[in-house]
Each structure stands twice: as C-alpha cells, then as structure tokens.
C-alpha cells in the first residue's frame, strides 16, 4: 500500500501566446489506504490530474510521490498503479477469466498464481459463475466489475478510477457504488476516484477534492465540504438542490453573500416573505421555489408537514441562525462566522 503526495502540481498546454494552464498548483496529501474522490464539473481538470498521477499526462511542474518514490519521470507501468476507465476496455474475443488474467500472463506469472488471483477477485466481485463468458454476454454492470477485477488481480499500491460508472444507468450506478465501498473495505488499497457526480462523491469519499477551473477549491470530508463549504462554488456545486446564495437578503452584511441550504429554511408565521413560483414533490419531501425580490430561493420541507402553497401565494420562511454561511462577494471565499 502507499500514500500519495501532490506538491504544487501545474499543467500547461502550448507555449507563448498559445499557452493554456489547466491545473493551477494543486497540493494534497493522501494517506495510505484512503479513498479520495476528485469531483468537479466537466473541464475542471479532474481527469487531467488523475492522468498525471497515472503517468499518462506529463507534469509541467511540481512533484508527485507514490509512497516515498518520486514518480514524475517513471512510466505508468513502473508506478505500481491500476486504472479503471469509463469505457471497460475489455478484449471482446477473450473470456472473463482471460480478460482478468491478461496482464498477469504478460508478466509471465505462474499459471497457478494467476488462477488463484483471478478466482479470489472473481469471488469478491461475484463473477465466479461468469468466468467463461465473453464480454458481449455480460450486462454493463458486469463488464465494469470485470474491469475492476482486472485491476484487483494486479495487487497494485494505488487504484485510479476515471469516471467508471458514467456508462451505467441510475440503478446500476447505485449498486456499483455499494460494491466499490465493499471492495475498498476488504482490500484497503489507496484510491483516487474521479467523477462529475456530486452524489457519487458524497457517498464514496472518505475525503474529497473539489475542483473548479483547475483550482482545488476544497479538500475535506464530505461532512466538512457540505456543512462548511470553502467558497460559493463549493456551496453551489455540492448539494442537491444547491445552497441558496443571496446577495440582497434582509439583514445581509455589506459586500457579502448569505448562504443557507434549502433544508435550513423553516416555514412559519415570521421571517422573509417569499412569493411562490412552483413546488416539486420528491416522495418524502417537497421543494418550494420562490422569489425573494429578484433572487430565487428554494425551501425543502417534509411532505405533509404543512399545506402546499399555491403558485403566486406568499409564504414566510426564516433561516436557522446557526446554519447561515457568509461569503465574500468579491472573492467568493468563506468568511469567518
């Protein structure tokens, strides 16, 4: 097993006037056996960062350590990592067993050892009954498990996952998230997992790196990121629906933005006057969309807790004082409460 250290990682493409910097000095320390999720919108640099750890992208400046080894100039095969991609990259003419064993055969590992490793990985991933099938005979979720099995048998120091669940439907994604959590508990291999899906990030991560335009906005546990977002970007990206960010709320400080999550606004007889636009029923809860002056506000309430407000009606909502966040309006950074 191994820790990972990123020291002031920078990535630029092109030169001179055509130069484009896509990673801006990212530094982070990942502990041995930790599961880290790198999350952010498309184009934020999360996959580029992962590919630099893998050795598939050249580092412009900075240092990457896996364990105590500086790996900047090492080839991917020398870094003792295994990568699981968005597309399964299985050999269609090979059986599940041969797909999982292929990398070990290339290394000329003894046949008995190969079988032991493949059988163990197959048992962990519940693929034992599918080892003789070809990829075309498998579902998308089963193919992804084969891809993970191929990584497991290598017994690497680090797992790198590049949006591995993107091709699965919602039900399979949820099921595979559970399988990945079980896999990490059993194997304990240090892992970096890239996704644009904040639900995946919140459910899988022990800690998460939130990326925005090549900058690491925040590095912390899901609880820290959700309850104490470091910036308005994090506040709006993490959470569904996102945090309300209000520049002109009653009682706002000068040159600040008030943040309050929809579940921390209480309907009642006092507070802000909110003009209702529409409501959404989400099973056990309801979302109320309204306007406070020229700003939209979302309120989350339990279904059946109060009468459903009609469109264009006025309701009163009050933020819980201990759940209000303040951000600098110029920088977007969190202010001390």
pLDDT tens digit sequence for 1-32: 699 999 999 999 998 888 899 999 999 999 99
Predicted confidence (pLDDT) at residue 251 exceeds the cutoff of 90: no
Whether 12 and 199 have beta carbons less than 8 Å apart is answered as: no
Whether 260 and 239 have beta carbons less than 8 Å apart is answered as: no
Whether 241 and 199 have beta carbons less than 8 Å apart is answered as: no
Neighbours of 307 (CB within 10 A): 9
Please state the separation of Cα 88 from the chain's center in Å: 19
Predicted confidence (pLDDT) at residue 303 exceeds the cutoff of 80: no
Please state the separation of Cα 132 from the chain's center in Å: 34
Overall average pLDDT of the 43-71 stretch: 96
Contacts of 174 (CB under 8 A, 6+ apart): none
Predicted confidence (pLDDT) at residue 314 exceeds the cutoff of 80: yes
Domain 241-328 of CATH type 2.40.50.140: yes
The dihedrals phi and psi of 43, each to the nearest 5 degrees, come to 85, 10
Digit-coded pLDDT (tens) for 211-232: 999 999 999 999 999 999 999 9
Confidence of residue 282 (pLDDT cuts 50, 70, 90): confident
Predicted confidence (pLDDT) at residue 138 exceeds the cutoff of 70: yes
pTM above 0.95, yes or no: no
Could you state, in order of their start, the residue ranges of all structural domains in the chain? 241-328
DSSP bridge partners of 9: 26
Residue in the structure block whose two tokens are 């034992």: 128
Predicted confidence (pLDDT) at residue 47 exceeds the cutoff of 80: yes
Digit-coded pLDDT (tens) for 148-175: 999 999 989 999 999 988 888 888 888 8
């Amino acid at each position: 097993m191994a820790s990972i250290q990123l020291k002031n990682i920078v990535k630029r493409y092109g030169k001179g006037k055509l130069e484009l910097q896509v990673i801006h000095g990212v530094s982070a320390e990942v502990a041995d056996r930790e599961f880290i999720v790198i999350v952010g919108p498309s184009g934020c640099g999360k996959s580029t960062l992962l590919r630099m750890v893998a050795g598939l992208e050249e580092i412009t400046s900075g240092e990457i350590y896996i364990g105590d080894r500086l790996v900047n100039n090492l080839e991917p095969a020398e870094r003792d990592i295994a990568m699981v991609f968005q597309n399964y990259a299985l050999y269609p003419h090979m059986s599940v067993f041969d797909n999982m064993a292929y990398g070990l055969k290339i290394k000329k590992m003894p046949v008995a050892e190969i079988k032991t490793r493949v059988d163990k990985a197959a048992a962990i991933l519940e693929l034992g009954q599918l080892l003789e099938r070809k990829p075309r005979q498998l579902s998308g979720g089963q193919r992804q498990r084969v891809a993970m099995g191929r990584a497991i048998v290598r017994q690497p120091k680090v797992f790198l996952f590049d949006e591995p669940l993107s091709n699965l439907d919602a039900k399979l994604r949820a099921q595979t998230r559970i399988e990945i959590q079980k896999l990490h508990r059993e194997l304990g291999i240090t892992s970096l997992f890239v996704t644009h899906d904040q639900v995946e990030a919140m459910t899988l991560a022990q800690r998460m790196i939130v990326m925005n335009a090549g900058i690491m906005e925040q590095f912390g546990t899901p609880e820290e990121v959700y309850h104490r977002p470091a910036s308005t970007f994090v506040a709006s990206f993490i959470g569904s629906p996102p945090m309300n960010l209000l520049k002109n709320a009653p009682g706002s400080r000068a040159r600040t933005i008030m943040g309050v999550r929809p579940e921390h606004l209480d309907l009642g007889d006092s507070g802000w006057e909110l003009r209702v636009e529409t409501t959404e029923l989400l099973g056990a809860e309801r979302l109320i969309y309204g306007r406070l002056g020229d700003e939209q506000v979302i309120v989350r309430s339990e279904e059946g807790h109060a009468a459903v407000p009609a469109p264009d009606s006025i309701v009163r909502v009050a933020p819980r004082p201990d759940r209000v966040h303040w951000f600098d309006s110029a920088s977007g950074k969190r202010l001390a409460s």
